[in-house]
Amino acid sequence: MIKGLTTLGRYLSLMGQVFSKPERIKVYFKEFIREIATLGVDSIGIVVLISLFIGAVITIQIKLNIESPWMPRWTVGYVTREILVLEFSSSIMCLILAGKVGSNIASEIGTMRVTQQIDALEIMGVNSACYLILPKVLALMVFIPLLVTFGIIAGILGAYATCWFGGIMNATDLEAGLQYEFKEWYIWCSFIKSIFFAFIIASVSAYFGYTVKGGSNEVGKASTDSVVCCSVLILFADLVLTNLL
Amino acid sequence: MIEVKNLYKSFDSKDVLKDIDATFEDGKTNLIIGQSGSGKTVFMKCIVGLFEPDSGKLLYDGRDLLAMRKKEKKNLRKEIGMIFQNAALFDSMTTMENVMFPLQMFSKMTWREQMHRAMFCLDRVNLLDAKNKYPGEISGGMQKRVAIARAIALNPKYLFCDEPNSGLDPQTSLLIDELIHDITHEYNMTTIVNTHDMNSVMGIGEKIIYLYGGHKEWEGNKDEIFNVNNKKLNDFIFASDLFRKVKEVENQEEDEGKK
C-alpha cells in the first residue's frame, strides 16, 4: 500500500515537472513533430492490419453464433459496428498500442537514463522530464483519434471483405446493419476514451523509463512493467469512462 | 573558481564523502584522483548539483549552489559544460545536432550562427568530417571529442570531465588530455577532471586532489606527487609497474649523484 502511494506520489511529481513551461518552444515543437512520426505514423500499419482482421473475425463469429431466422438480417452489421466503434477501436487498440508504443517509450527513456543522456540534459539546465516526456504525451494524445479512425475504417473494410471474398453474407445486409441507428456520439466517445488512454500509455511508460536505475536488465524490466501497468490502467479507465460517457 | 567547504554526503546512512574542503582554480586543470569507490564520481556529481550534499557549501565564484533558487541554478547550469564517462551523446542526433543542441536551447543566435559555432567547435576537436554521423557510427575516442565540442559550445566558465579517458587507448587518452588542457587555458575555464589514470595526472595535473575512503587525503600538483611521503597515495601511484620502475630509476640516479 505504502509502495503504491509512493509510486503514485513520484508519478504525480514527475507529471508536475513534465507540465511546466518549456525552455524553447521551437525545439519542443520539433520534438513533437518527430514523436508524431515515431509514435503515431509508424503505428498506422499495425493498427490497420489488426483492425482489418478483427473486423473480419467479428463479422464471421457473429454471423455463425448470433444470427437466426428470428433476428433481422442487419443484426450482424449492427453488432459488428457497435463492437468496432465502442470497444475495439479505442480500448482494445490502445491495449495493443500499450505494447508497441509503451514499451518503445519506456525503453528509449530508460536507455537515456542508464547512458547518462538525461544527466547531460540536466547539466545543461534543460528540464529533462519536460523535454523528453511532454512531446511524447502530446503527440500521442493528438494523433490517437486518427489511429482510432483508421481502426474503425479498417475494421469495417475487414467486415466487408468477408462478404466480398468469403461470401459469408450479403454485403447489402451488412451495410444496412452498419448504418442502422448510427449515433455519431459513439464515435466521439471512442475519441474521448482513446485520448485518456493515450495519456496513460505515454505518461506511465515514460515514468517507468525515467525512473530506471541500473543497467540494461532494469531497462528491459521497466519496459515490461510499463506494458503491464498501462494495460491494467487502460482497463480500469475503460470501466470508469464507459460508465461516465 | 569553485570552492567546496565541509562537504558531507551519505547514502542509506553510509558516509561516502566526509568533510571535504577544496578549491578549484580558474585556468587550471584540477584533477580529482582516487581508487574506484573512493567517492570521486559522487564528489563531482555533488559539485555539479546532480546529487544534493547532506551539508557543506559549494561556491561558484562566491555563489552558493546549495542556497540558490531554481531559476538561479538553471542560469548557473548554462555556465557549466560536462563530459561524461561514456560521452552521453544523444543517440537520435548527428554529431552536428549534438553540438548545436545547447545553442538551440539557450542561445539567441540565428540558425546560421548556431551552425557556424557548432562547426567551429567540431573543428576545434578535429571532427568536422564526422559532422553528419550518428554517435553509434563513430569510435569511443571520437565520441569523447564530440562531447568536448558540445560542452564548450556555450563557452562555459566551468568544465567537468568524469573519467574522460576510460575505455580509450593511451594515444587517444593523451589526445583527449591535451585537448582538455588546451581548452582550459584558451578559455580560462575552471576545469575539474575525475580520473584514476596516472598518465593524465602526470600530463595535465596542475592541481591534484587525492580522495581516499571519501575524504581528502592529499592535495598538490604533478611535480610534488612523486615525492610525497603518504603510504596510501604511494600505494595508489605505484600500483602501476611503469611508475614503480620510473621511481626506482630516479632513486638510483639520486643515490649515484650522492656518491
> What number of helices (H) and strands (E) belong to chain A?
11, 0
Is there a contact between B77 and A116 if contact means CB atoms under 8 Å apart?
no
Q: Which of residues 14-43 of A touch B (CB under 8 A)?
A: 23-24, 26-27
pLDDT (0 to 100) of residue A50: 92
Interface test with A, best of B47, B86, B105, B157 (most A CBs within 10 A): B105
Sort B247 into a burial class: Cβ within 10 Å, 0-12 / 13-18 / 19+: middle
pLDDT at A201: 94
Q: How confident is the model at residue B176, as a pLDDT? A: 84
Provide the pLDDT confidence category of residue A112 given band limits of 50, 70 and 90: very high
CB-based contacts of B190, cutoff 8 Å, min separation 6: B1, B2, B24, B25, B26, B27, B28, B30, B157, B158, B159
pLDDT (mean) for A185-202 = 92
Interface of A with B in 101-130 (CB under 8 A): 111-112, 115-117, 119-120, 122-126
At B118, list the grid cell: 557548432
Tell whether the model's pLDDT for residue B69 goes beyond 80: yes
The residue with greater pLDDT, B234 or A147, is A147
Distance separating alpha carbons of residues B131 and B31, to the nearest angstrom: 30
pLDDT band at A205 (very low <50, low <70, confident <90, very high): very high
Number of structural domains found in chain A:
1
If pLDDT is split at 50, 70 and 90, which confidence band does A145 have? very high
As beta bridge partners, residue B2 has B24, B60
Predicted confidence band of residue A102 (pLDDT cuts 50, 70, 90): very high
User: Is residue B129 scored above 70 in pLDDT?
Assistant: yes
| B246-255 tens-digit pLDDT | 667 767 777 7
Tell me: pLDDT of B92 over 80: yes
What mean pLDDT is predicted for residues A133-145?
A: 94
pLDDT of residue B247: 67
Q: A53 is written with which cell numbers?
A: 482482421
Q: What is the pTM of this model?
A: 0.84
Q: Which residue of B has its CA nearest to A127?
A: B74
Domain residue ranges of chain B, discontinuous segments joined by +: 2-232
- In this prediction, residues B222-228 reach a mean pLDDT of 79
User: Crossing angle of helices A25-35/A128-164, nearest 10°?
Assistant: 30
Quick one: average pLDDT of B117-128?
A: 88
Q: Given this model, what pLDDT does residue B140 score?
A: 86
pLDDT band of B12, cuts 50, 70, 90: confident
Pick the residue from chain A with its C-alpha nearest to B88: A117
pLDDT confidence of residue B90: 92
Q: How far is CA A225 from CA A2, A98, A116, A206, A218, in A?
A: 19, 11, 22, 11, 10
Mean pLDDT across B48-56: 88
Contact list, A116 vs chain B (CB under 8 Å): 84-86, 88
Once rounded to an integer, what is the mean pLDDT over residues A189-212?
Answer: 93
* Arch. (CATH architecture) of B2-232: 3-Layer(aba) Sandwich (3.40)
Whether residue A120 and residue B82 make contact (CB cut-off 8 A), yes or no, is yes
pLDDT at position B244: 67
pLDDT in tens, B70-91: 888 888 888 888 988 888 899 8
pLDDT at B169: 82
Per-residue pLDDT, averaged over B176-200, amounts to 87
Question: Confidence class of residue A210 from pLDDT cuts 50, 70 and 90?
Answer: very high
Please name the member of A26, A27, A116 whose beta carbon is closest to the beta carbon of B88.
A116
Instruction: Please give the mean pLDDT across all residues of chain B.
Output: 86
What is the residue range of A87's domain? 2-244
CB proximity list for A198: less than 8 A, separation 6 or greater: A94, A97, A137, A140, A141, A143, A144
Q: What is the pLDDT of residue B112?
A: 92
Q: Is A4 on the interface with B (CB under 8 A)?
A: no
The count of other CB atoms within 10 Å of the CB of residue A140 is 30
Whole-angstrom CA distances from B53 to A124, B58, B61, B67, B248 are 20, 9, 19, 12, 42
- With beta carbons less than 8 A apart as the criterion, state whether B170 and B199 touch: yes
Q: How far from A55 is each of A77, A121, A143, A159, B76, CA to CA, in Å?
A: 10, 45, 22, 5, 57
